[in-house]
Amino acid sequence: MKTLAGILIALLGLHLFGHAQQNMQTYSKYDFVPGEKVIFYDDFTNTEIGDFPGSWNTTASGEVVTTNLHPGNWFKMNGEGGIVLDEGLNLPDNFTVEYDVIGYPVEDDNTYFEFGFYMYSSQNPKDIDEGGAVPGLNGGIKLTLGYRATYSAYNTEGYTLNGEKEDATMEAGKKYRISVWVQKTRLRVYLDQVKVFDLPKVFEAGLKINMMRFELWESGNPMITNFRVAAGLPDMRNKLLTEGKLVSYGIYFDVNKDVVKPESYGTLKGIADVLKENPDLRVKIVGHTDSDGTDAANLDLSKRRGASVKNELVKTFGIDASRLESDGSGESQPVAANDSPVNKALNRRVEFLKL
């Protein structure tokens, strides 16, 4: 019988050698823009390897691990049951959710997996099982992801809408980016650069989502990291033209890397559109880091990241390089204490300053 590790390594090899690596151009139709205000963030760096993360609760099991498949700390969910944010969330009408995920099969000789991700209005956020996919409570939506993608919405009377996209397939051992965008009654769900669902009237008007839950079944479990919830859309035009400063949290890099990740496309396109519509506008791009690492290393990293953002605006979006400057401030200008994953995420940012 094959081991799980062997299967995952084999699948990773297929991914590396059987698929073209994603780049910025593959996201040319990607219109997702992350929320401006970070409400919750967890990359599990504050949890010891082998422990269950403190901001979460479960009726199943889980632990923080590292994997040779991808860098970083990963929350590996195990067993059957629910895993939720321990305190719930007080979410506005407009918000985004993002996380990186690797699926893995429960059985060592199986590559099939599927898991649920639910967003709902809970009567008691401390109750892990209440309000998930059970009609008669406050309403919400359940998504299933893995070998297919489905959705089922419900209100206090029962299920209202459901659908399926069979070709939205995730392979075990491969890393994906899940992005969810809620605007009042509208829901958009993305798997990497592909929009899987766009449902304009899926939520009941006035529904206040306050809980998110991963549901685990025999059909496989996920590992997640970089779980980010944020509110509101950035008003890029007003920030740049009127206020003269845009702080962006929608431009992503791997840890200690300066290459702009392709899921930054939507944010960069929005900034590029403002620049194209205002040909006299010039900006300075400044990278900022959290306090992990040495001062010198962070300063160098932030400068390289600022330069990389400039290069993408020039290369991918056709902005004249003479209109752009770049720099970096390292960890020297924090906007929050570097004492939690959320605050560190606030300090990792790119600022655009009107010149």
For residue 266, give the nearest of 351, 178, 193, 354 by alpha carbon: 193
Phi, psi of 271 (to 5 degrees): -70, -40
For residue 288, give the nearest of 248, 260, 259 by alpha carbon: 248
Would you state the pLDDT for residue 235? 86
Averaged pLDDT for residues 119-130: 75
pLDDT at 43 over 90: yes
Residue 326, H or E segment: strand 324-328
pLDDT at 255 over 90: no
Q: Which CATH superfamily is domain 4-231 in?
A: Exo-inulinase; domain 1 (2.60.120.560)
Would you state the pLDDT for residue 23? 76
pLDDT at 165 over 50: yes
Would you state the pLDDT for residue 312? 95
CATH code linked to domain 236-354:
3.30.1330.60
- Cα dihedral sign for 180, 181, 186, 189? negative
Quote the CA–CA distance of 97 and 249 in Å, as a whole number. 13
pLDDT at 14 over 50: no
Q: What is the pTM of this model?
A: 0.87
Give 308-329 pLDDT, tens digit per residue: 999 999 999 999 999 999 999 9
Residue boundaries of the structural domains of the chain: 4-231, 236-354
Would you state the pLDDT for residue 311? 96
Q: Which residues contact 6 (CB under 8 A, 6 or more apart)?
A: none
pLDDT at 21 over 70: no
Radius of gyration of the chain (CA): 20
List of long-range contacts for 259-263, beta carbons under 8 Å, 24+ apart: 259/308, 260/24, 260/305, 260/308, 260/309, 260/312, 262/22, 262/23, 262/24, 262/26, 262/27, 262/30, 262/193, 263/27, 263/30, 263/32, 263/177, 263/179, 263/192, 263/193
Q: 105 vs 33, 239, 332, CA distance in Å?
A: 31, 46, 44
pLDDT at 111 over 80: no
pLDDT at 13 over 60: no
pLDDT at 2 over 70: no
And the tokens for 227?
A: 């779980």
pLDDT at 99 over 90: yes
Averaged pLDDT for residues 110-134: 75
Would you state the pLDDT for residue 258? 93
Q: Using the structure block, give the residue that is written with the tokens 């390292």.
A: 330
Q: Let me know if the fold of 4-231 is the same as that of 236-354.
A: no
Would you state the pLDDT for residue 125? 66
Mean residue pLDDT of the chain comes to 87
